[in-house]
Amino acid sequence: MSRSNLPLIEGDWIAERNRGLSGPALRKAFEEIGFAVLLDPPLEAASIEALYAAVRAFFSLPEEVKLRYRLEGMGGQRGYTPFGVEHAKNREQPDLKEFWQFGPDQNPEVVEVPDFGIRGREVFQALESIGTELMKALAMAFGGDPERFAQSVQGGESILRPIHYPGLQHPEPEALRSAEHEDINAITLLMGASAGGLQLLGRDGNWFDAEIPAGALVINVGDMLERLSGGKLKSTTHRVINTPDAYAGVSRYSIPFFLHFRSDVLLVPPSDWSLDAPGFHAPLEPPITAGSFLDQRLREIGLK
């Protein structure tokens, strides 16, 4: 039996979406907690396992080799970002992680690990397809045009980010593997990590562990979607804590996919969405495009 303390989206979710069933469940989860668990996603287990193997091989390379794949002027949006560079918004202490970012194009090929790029592109495309279908389901749940809303993410700067959290070696007292933050993008799809540590901030102000069934995808709202929905959908604060096994030198690997809107999409409520339900409020901030919002946030987290 599947076990999770997050809302579940079950069954043949694409067929359910076509019958208008999964959209309301997704909307309810995104309104109440901002997170949900997608069971039995259309992802090949072999593809995921092959990508994780390539990810481990890449991060096992010597530091001087990995640094060859750090691309200047890209704001960390392609290639390698070394340990201790990125930090959460409004926080100076860097996170205890290193990562790689695959985009839809312009990805450097890692000659030392030929499978890395192949597997990364394969999973990128699969998650982009799933994410687009989820956006269609969400639009339908608000009475909007699913195809038109899906177009808002076509050609966007979506990112697949393999992350390595090394085993800890006397970190600074306040340092976390990933400090409390909200995601920047539209929605995030997260394949199960190699170890625990993901926590969400509840409405009561307390942190709780996210319990994720094997083989499921965690999906959550990012700041762009919260802003586009006028605050109706919640971009929930989350973090990755330093679990006890990390102090024994155990690494943690995680591969989130960040689905982004096209850079020219204005982050205001779509005209065909019905957002007059209780709790909806118009955004207080002035209108901004997804591209400008992303640039602003990359500066705030130390990547630009």
pLDDT in tens, 285-304: 778 999 999 999 999 998 88
Structural domains of the chain, ranges and CATH numbers in brackets:
8-300 (2.60.120.330)
Sheet containing strand 178-181, edge to edge, reads 178-181, 238-240, 198-201, 207-209
Per-residue model confidence (pLDDT) at position 1: 41
Q: Which of 17-31, 51-65, 73-87 has the highest mean pLDDT?
A: 51-65
pLDDT, position 2: 55
Predicted local confidence at residue 120, as pLDDT: 97
DSSP labels, 256-270: EEEE---TT-B-S--
pLDDT value at 59 more than 60 = yes
pLDDT tens-digit map of 200-218:
999 899 999 998 888 889 9
- The span from the first CA to the last CA of the chain, in angstroms, equals 45
Who wins on pLDDT, 228 or 23?
228
In the chain, % of residues over pLDDT 90: 69
State residue 24's pLDDT score: 85
pLDDT at residue 279 greater than cutoff 70? no
Whether 57 shows a pLDDT value over 50: the answer reads: yes
Q: What local confidence, expressed as pLDDT, does residue 280 receive? A: 53
In which band, very low, low, confident or very high, does the pLDDT at 9 lie, cut at 50, 70 and 90? confident
Q: What is the mean pLDDT of residues 156-177?
A: 92
* Burial class for 105, CB neighbours closer than 10 Å (0-12, 13-18, 19+): exposed
Q: How far is the C-alpha of 181 from the C-alpha of 237, rounded, in Å?
A: 5
pLDDT at 230: 87
- Label the pairing between strands 207-209 and 217-221: unpaired
Query: Can you tell me the mean pLDDT for 115-124?
Result: 97
